[in-house]
A and B are shown apart, each in its own frame.
Chain A
């Protein structure tokens, strides 16, 4: 075009040339601008000859993949081989489809391998140009590197899914609802798990929330939520909802309110299932209530006394409610301190208590004491206290006392009354034994009385015959014989009455006794009875026994009782079996007495219950004897037991502790 034509058209040519130059410049300018734009926008151009598969790749195209101008040849394979294998088939399909339809709407995203080995996301757009034969001949297009956008998208997607999974896995229901109607717009999946309703119902039912709230909580919960929402205040509250299967589910609902133009629009919140916590709280509350109640009922107060300071009174003391009551205060009425405690302790008991505390600390032992306290109104109560030291596990140093204080005044009073009653019962039962013995004892007394009468009669006869002629030596001898016999029989009467009086006595008197003597005396009391019934009483007593310290009468009562029982067990048996043996022995811990019979014995069931009050195997028995025996023996620090003999019959064994030398009366 630059070659000049004939001269006459120079100006036209010049004009054309100018125009051409101008348009060329404009074109170049446009091209440059385009290149700048392309370069600036990092857009790569490609021009694919569909016939030859030759492709012109622009510098930007190559640059996108990290290559220089000369590093990429002009063939379509340079593109195809770099496309991600996963993306290649769909991309080729799109190319195919675009070519077939001669489309100008080729638009595809795929990954291509960068020179550095990384994958770049590429957006490809292009159109197909037809050749002279109207068949697709060229395909032109651009590549835009969209990796950053893809990554951002990816990040967004993953953060969204993370958010969703978070929401769905949160042990609570994340929700969004309309602030006016309270109808749910969003509810996380956990709703299904926690309450069991399908999610649809949450959305579909306008009053779903209201309807599923526990009837007891419905009114206030809805009202509270609406009130706070109306004021635009976020809120959180705990209420119960009823699950699909009827369970009560405790929810802690934390709600935020979104306002628009001063009006609440949206509520967002999380409902957390706190059923377990509520249950635990309830259990705790109950057990605390139980503790308080039981402390109150048992009148046991608990306390803790710190031991930080060696000066006990300056340490902190904590009282349970009941401890306040035990010490005569209303709970919380005073700030308890050790000094508070000491003002209550009865002045006479203070040194005793101090000593016990000191000893417990010094010897790391349990503090246990019973002492009196004086209340404000002067009333004296008896307190039983027991405390253990909490020790520092590392140093072994006492940290604090943890203890209880119990008002045992009533118990002591009852015990006292019981002791009196028991003594009465002992006495009553003894009197009843005496009653049983009176018949036999009256004969026992009748014997010597008869003898006395007879001897006296004999004396009278002698004296009658003597009045006239004086007393002969023979008569005198007789008189002496008879009067001494009278004295002897009188002594016999006195002995019997003495035993009976002793036996019916009521005061408990401990004295050092020979058990063998007690056994023989008791046997005397039953001797007549045994003779009458033809019962042989054998004694198996060692020469001497160490003394026991007992109440003679009570132990005699035990022996008489056991003898009487043995008698009842054998009195109807053939004479060969009407035998009772009384034994005594020295044992390791004291002395033992045993009453053995050859009767029918007792069943194992009976053996276990023998010492229960009112248990009896006798048709007319009261079932008191053995229980009284046990009470007496235990009172003496001894033991009583029943054994079945190997060859039939029963043995009752009573073990009594030895008389301690230092406790003589």
Chain B
């Protein structure tokens, strides 16, 4: 499955670039080569899953900067970094930012292939997760403000009566909104709902559950 994902090779040394492509090509990977990070960022579909094999020292945007930009852009791509001589600080930064691994040149080819496999798997998983998250966000966006308030109360496991009292709404309204929340979120129970929301990154989660100022048309 992962073999169908692309591997992007970024290296300013043409011989190295070609050799990585040759190696991976022979192992059945789809490879794309770039002589600079700038070219890669401009031309590659960075919102798609795949694995980047990048050199660290390059003129212009270097490997560290490339990885940072991908991270900022929430790209699902995995990054395998290769370097001639990495200092500890650079290595730590790279690993903290989620690099699959850091390989020192000259590296052993099996190690590179393993790292790419891992990177592709992680990227695939990340991409799927992103897809799921996006679906949840889309569902969340469909909730009205009133439904959102009820959902928040549901998540805190309060009985309907207490919710009705707290929101100053009738029991029937509460019940209707409760069903609407479950339906719109595509779940069958509050437990399932909380599991779905928990899978969201923290920032999204708070976005989903935070009370918002009620807009006039949502008043019932």
Contact = CB atoms under 8 A, between A and B. Distances in A.
Interface of A: 439, 442-444, 446-458, 461-462, 465, 478, 481-482, 485, 488-489, 492, 528, 531-532, 534
16 contacts: A444-B84, A446-B105, A447-B15, A450-B19, A450-B105, A451-B15, A452-B106, A454-B16, A454-B20, A454-B112, A455-B22, A457-B109, A458-B26, A461-B27, A485-B15, A534-B59
Kindly list the 8 A-B residue pairs having the minimum CB-CB distance in the complex, ordered from nearest: A443-B84, A454-B19, A461-B26, A457-B109, A449-B106, A446-B105, A451-B19, A458-B22
Contacts of B82: 450
Interface string B107-124: 111001100000000000
Nearest to A448: B15
Given A447-B13, A489-B15, A534-B59, A457 B23 contact: yes
A61 B107 CA distance: 155
Interface string B1-30: 000000000001101101110110111000
A458 B109 CA distance: 9
B57 interface: yes
Contacts of A528: 57, 84
Given A449-B106, A453-B106, A453-B108, A488 B15 contact: yes
Given A455-B23, A534-B59, A447 B18 contact: no
A439 B83 CA distance: 12
Nearest to A486: B19
A447 B13 CA distance: 8
Contacts of A450: 16, 19, 82, 105-107
A458 B23 contact: yes
Contacts of B106: 446, 449-450, 452-453
B12 A485 contact: no
A454 B23 contact: yes
Contacts of B15: 447-448, 451, 485, 488-489, 492
A454 B84 contact: no
Given A449-B106, A454-B16, A442 B22 contact: no
Given A442-B84, A534-B59, A449 B105 contact: yes
Contacts of B44: none
Interface in B38-62: 57-60
Contacts of A456: 109
Which of A450, A461, A481, A489 has the most chain B CB atoms inside 10 A of its CB? A450
B85 interface: yes
Contacts of B84: 442-444, 446-447, 528
Contacts of A442: 84-85
Contacts of A444: 84
Interface of B: 12-13, 15-16, 18-20, 22-23, 25-27, 57-60, 82, 84-85, 104-109, 112-113
A481 B60 CA distance: 30
A486 to B, nearest CB: 9
Contacts of B105: 443, 446-447, 449-450
A627 B199 CA distance: 67
A446 B103 CA distance: 12
Nearest to B25: A458
B57 A461 contact: no
B186 to A, nearest CB: 45
A453 B82 CA distance: 14
Identify the interface centre among B25, B57, B82, B84: most chain A CB within 10 Å of its CB: B84
B59 A454 contact: no
A248 to B, nearest CB: 80
B85 A452 contact: no
Contacts of B27: 461
Given A444-B84, A455-B19, 10 more contacts: A450-B105, A453-B108, A454-B23, A454-B109, A457-B23, A458-B25, A482-B19, A485-B18, A485-B19, A532-B57
Contacts of A462: 26
B59 A531 contact: yes
Contacts of B59: 531, 534
Contacts of A439: 85
A593 to B, nearest CB: 25
B54 to A, nearest CB: 13
A455, A465, A481, most chain B CB atoms within 10 A: A455
Nearest to B18: A485
B58 to A, nearest CB: 8
A66 B215 CA distance: 172
A455 B23 CA distance: 6
Contacts of B12: 531
A534 B25 CA distance: 31
Nearest to B104: A446
A60 B105 CA distance: 152
Contacts of B23: 454-455, 457-458, 461
Contacts of B57: 443, 528, 531-532
B178 to A, nearest CB: 59
A453 B12 CA distance: 17
A2 B186 CA distance: 219
A458 B19 contact: yes
B3 to A, nearest CB: 14
Contacts of A532: 57
Nearest to B22: A458
A608 to B, nearest CB: 37
B81 to A, nearest CB: 13
A654 to B, nearest CB: 28
A443 B83 CA distance: 8
Contacts of B16: 447, 450-451, 454
B111 to A, nearest CB: 10
A481 B23 CA distance: 12
Nearest to A461: B26
B22 A443 contact: no
A481 B85 CA distance: 29
A481 B19 CA distance: 10
Contacts of B113: 457
A573 to B, nearest CB: 16
A489 B84 CA distance: 16
A530 to B, nearest CB: 9
Contact of A451 (B18, B60, B85): B18
Contacts of A447: 13, 15-16, 84, 105
Interface centre among A443, A458, A462 (most CB of B within 10 A): A458
Contact of B109 (A453, A485, A488): A453
A531 B85 CA distance: 14
B10 to A, nearest CB: 14
Contacts of A458: 19, 22-23, 25-26
Contacts of A481: 22
A474 to B, nearest CB: 12
Nearest to B15: A451
A449 B13 CA distance: 12
A534 B27 CA distance: 34
